[in-house]
Amino acid sequence: MRLPLSSLMRHGLVLAACAAAAGCGSVDAVSYRVANSITPYRVEVVQGNFVSKEQAEQLKPGMSRQQVKELLGTPLVADVFHADRWDYVFTLRRQGVPDQARRMTLYFKGDALERFEGDEMPSESEFVASINKRRSGKVPQLEATEEQLQRAGSKPAAAPAPAAPPEPPPVVSYPPLEPAVR
């Protein structure tokens, strides 16, 4: 008994689909390895309030909550259940650089600062230096040579901007806001 051509084609398509499905496992493994070898761009994440060493040195027991807020800013965490505790937390996540995290906790008695504790805070200049670390280490030259300065000075002066059209005279009368009563 001979099978019609359309039946053979159907059986062939089914066999081809089964072979393709069996091969998907190896294709999937390769695509997984390729996808994991490519590192996507990570956005820099800065959260919280940075408290510098200079700011921490200005904190004194007995300061009011308002004085502390003016010095350090609004705390990141002010817990409803611990109304006499403020937490200043700062985190910085950047690609290719270790994460930075610092914490300072302030304790109040009534409206006055009682004590504070936390991590060792860097000075502002130390913090800026840690942020500005370049991966390549190569600093571009920021000075112009004499030749570049001469070329910049010898350019013809730019043409003056065309004059703006004159403004229309101000409107003296305005239409009524409500329609006339009939």
Give the pLDDT of residue 85: 92
Q: What is the DSSP string of 7-66?
A: HHHHHHHHHHHHHHHHHHHHHHHHHHHHHHHSPPP---EEEE----HHHHHH--TT-BHH
Report if pTM > 0.85: no
| pLDDT tens track, the chain, 182 positions | 555 667 777 877 777 776 666 665 565 666 666 666 676 777 777 788 888 899 999 999 999 999 999 999 988 877 788 889 999 998 888 877 788 889 999 999 999 999 999 998 888 888 888 777 645 556 566 788 888 888 887 655 556 667 778 888 877 777 777 877 76
Q: Which domains can be identified in the chain, with CATH numbers?
A: 45-131 (3.30.1450)
Distance of CA 8 to the CA centre of its chain: 60
